[in-house]
Structure 1
Amino acid sequence: MHLRRMLAVALSLSCPLIGCSQGDPSRIKDKVPLTKVTGAIMVDGNPTGGVILKYVPVGDIAEKREAYIKSFTVMTNNDGAFALKTYARGDGVPAGEYKLYCQYFPPEEQVKRRESGEDRFGGKYIPPKPPAKIITVKTGENLDVGTIELKSAPRKSR
């Protein structure tokens, strides 16, 4: 139970930083048109839930709020599927180019890996490393990015 409480506090503190809408998304003024973007993530050949997918716009995007959002984050569901969001779950993103970065802290290793700051991928899919994928989103053209195949980092010997 203690771990759940810590994760809830961490998520609530990080939401303004990672693109979670504050309060009711319907109250956000000047919303921009969005395009649905979906896909899936496989880790070592298996669909994997709980992968954190951070998507970073390349250059400016049309979406502006009181505090400019530099990146957004979603998590894959149990079958590895994801849908990008701007205001609410799965609503899509503004047109533009996005770099997709990934982190994964398996449930059985979460506390140990988060404390060390190293994810299952050994940091190879987070900045300043190259993104796992770059996508281009066009207004009105829903985008299925397909399956993104990721590999675990070799385990370090102790």
Structure 2
Amino acid sequence: MRFLINIGLILVACVCVGCREGWQAATYPAQGMVTVNGTAANGAVVTLYPVGGKVDVRNSRPWAIADQEGRFELQTYEAGDGAPIGEYNVTVTWPLDVTKMDLAMTDQLDGQFARPEQSLWKVEIEEGENSLPTIAIDGVKLQTKVQNAKSRRIPRGPEMEPGQ
């Protein structure tokens, strides 16, 4: 009896692993750089929104956080895995403290570059290595403290369809 239970558990584990991998799209390495007013945007959050459809059944969005030099490496499912093939609108937000990520974080860019439908940048991810053009944001006044938390919240992306 114990043998049958162990076999059953192994089969369930194999099925679960297969299901997890089945929903993920193939990804390709992609990196870039983001600057604000000519300076590296350490802690800026870059998010890619697919144009014309979902990249997988969960509507995943590749994203990255810029380092001290403003460089970022996209991830979709795990650190550094890149992004699925496709065209994307790019958004940039820059929280005061990236270690306190939450929906109410203050965006130093005042939400100006946070809406995918108003994106100033489009990128194309292709098979192989992808070097994205530098995202240079110039001439913006930075929000340096929480002045009015309600008006300074980073807007959420487009509403997801039911069941996602």
TM tier relative to shorter chain:
0.5 to 0.7
Query: What's the TM-score once normalised by structure 2's chain length?
Result: 0.62
What is the TM-score of this pair, normalised by structure 1? 0.64
The equivalent residue for 1:145 is 132
In the superposition, relative to structure 1, how do residues 151 and 105 fare at CA in structure 2: closer, same or farther (>3 Å)?
Answer: farther
In structure 1, what is the equivalent of residue 109 of structure 2? 121
Corresponding residue SS for 2:26: coil
Q: Unaligned regions of 5+ residues in structure 2, if any?
A: 1-16, 148-164
Give the match's secondary structure for 1:122: coil
- 1:49 match: 42
1:106 aligns with 2:99: no
- Structure 1 residues 124 and 32: alpha-carbon distance in aligned structure 2, compared to 1, 3 A threshold: same
| Greater relative contact order (CA < 8 Å, ≥ 6 in sequence) | 1
Could you list the per-position Cα deviations for residues 17-74 of structure 1 after superposition, in whole angstroms to 9, with x for gaps in the alignment?
A: xxxxxxxx9983223321111101011101121001111111224423xxx2253432
Matches within 5 A, 1:2-151: 28-30=20-22, 31-64=24-57, 68-107=58-97, 118-127=106-115, 130-138=118-126, 140-151=127-138
Once the two structures are aligned, what percentage of the paired residues are identical? 19
Q: CA deviation at 1:152?
A: 5.7
Larger radius of gyration: 2
Letter in 1 for 2:90: L
Unaligned runs of 5+ in 1: 1-24
CA distance in 1, matches of 2:18, 2:96: 34
Q: Structure 1 CA distance, aligned partners of 2:18 and 2:41?
A: 31
The residue identity in structure 2 corresponding to 1:86 is T
